[in-house]
Structure 1
Amino acid sequence: MFAEEFVVVDATSPLWNAARPFLDIALRIEQQDDSYLWHGWNKASIDAFLQKLPPHCSLMLGVWQVDAAQEQETLWLGCICEVVDGAVCSLRTFVALEDSRLPAIAQLEPGYIHAQELIRVTKGQVAPVAWALFTDKTTWDEWLLAADADGQPTDKGEALAALARQGRCVLLGSQVTHHPHHH
């Protein structure tokens, strides 16, 4: 899962407060054998996903916390994994991206325009984006923590595709195949 030389680019970013626990979980999964499951995630399925990616690419994640009382959305988690030959070699938050046309972190919204800008900047500064996921924290938690009752690995890709079909998240990037939606 992780390259021998794994780099955390901007560990002092405020977005690391949300990212750090997920890095810890990923490292725990990598250190266990293939029978270890964490909420439906296991090393074999993560490795299989990474091996299908282009030789040098990035994976992007943006999760917004919705405050209904204040009618606002705040970026809670924004990070980019750089993947080389099926191994994650670096992790950085959106704070590490520097571009005058990119809005300040506090101004980033989960809409298409900001998503396209984030993808453009990531392509120029990290690597082309194979997959980008933009969603709200409720949907993120539901997807991340979903597990089969029988203790088997979960098809997280299909679960995410189902959430996208419901309009609960947006998947973008060079690896997204466009299938007609059948209802």
Structure 2
Amino acid sequence: MLAEELIVVDAASPLWNTARPLLDIALKIEQQNGSFSWHGWQKEPIDTFLQSLPVHCVLIAGVWQEDAAREQESLWLGCILEVREGAVYSVRTFTALEDAGLPPVAQLEPGFAHAQELLQLVKSSIAPVAWALFTDKATWDEWLLADKDDQQYIDKGQLLSSLAQQGRCVLLGNQVSHHRHHL
């Protein structure tokens, strides 16, 4: 699931504060036995999904949260996972692409223009994008934290597809039309 030597590119980024707990959970899932489940996430389906990806690609998650005080949405999580041969090789936030031309994180909006710019920058500076998920925090939490009382496997890919069909998130990338979701 994770490369033996995982590279964290920009751990000083403020966005890292929301990415770090996710990495901690991934480490826990990887280190536990196969029956361990965290909110329906289990090692085997995650490994299967990662193995189904191209040899070198990127997964992106952009999550916006409404900021009532400023009456706008602000980026809460902007994470880029570089995958090589079925393992997460590096983790970085959107901040890492500011030097490559991405607008400052505080200016990123949950719209097509910034999403397209992000996809192009990632492709030219890291690797082709297999999947990109853009959503709001409520939908992210519903997907990420969906659980069953009996700790059984939840088909996270099917849940994500359902949320996308409801218009609650956007999935972009090279793999969207080629593979069934297996998360």
Report if TM-score (shorter chain) is over 0.5: yes
The structure-2 alpha-carbon separation of the partners of 1:2 and 1:100, relative to structure 1 and needing over 3 Å to count, comes to closer
Q: Tell me the equivalent position of 2:13.
A: 13
Q: What stretches of structure 1 of length at least 5 have no aligned partner? A: 179-183
**Unaligned ranges ≥5, structure 2:** 179-183
CA distance in 1, matches of 2:6, 2:110: 28
1:1-80 to 2 correspondence within 5 Å? Answer: 1-68=1-68, 70-80=70-80
Aligned runs of 1:88-127 on 2, under 5 Å?
A: 88-99=88-99, 101-127=101-127
Report the Cα distance in structure 2 between the residues aligned to 1:102 and 1:108, rounded to whole angstroms: 9
Q: Report the AA paired with residue 90 of structure 2.
A: S
Tell me which residue corresponds to 2:181: none
Q: How much does 1:99 deviate?
A: 5.0
Deviation at 1:126, TM superposition (A): 1.1
The alpha-carbon deviation at position 103 of structure 1 amounts to 1.6
Worse-superposed segment, 160-169 or 64-73: 64-73
* Paired residue total: 179
Q: Deviations over 1:74-96 (max 9, x none)?
A: 00110100000000000000011
Bigger mean CA deviation after superposition, 140-149 or 60-69: 60-69
Q: CA RMSD in A?
A: 1.5
In structure 2, the partner of 1:81 is 81
* 8 Å CA contact 2:100, 2:121 repeated in 1: no
Q: Percent identity?
A: 69
Is residue 99–residue 121 contact of structure 1 (8 Å, CA) maintained in 2? no
Distance in 2 of aligned mates of 1:135 and 1:99: 24
Give TM-score scaled by structure 1 length: 0.93
Contact map agreement 2:79 2:94 (CA 8 A) in 1: yes
Q: Residue 4 of structure 1: CA displacement?
A: 1.1
Moved over 3 A (4+): 98-101
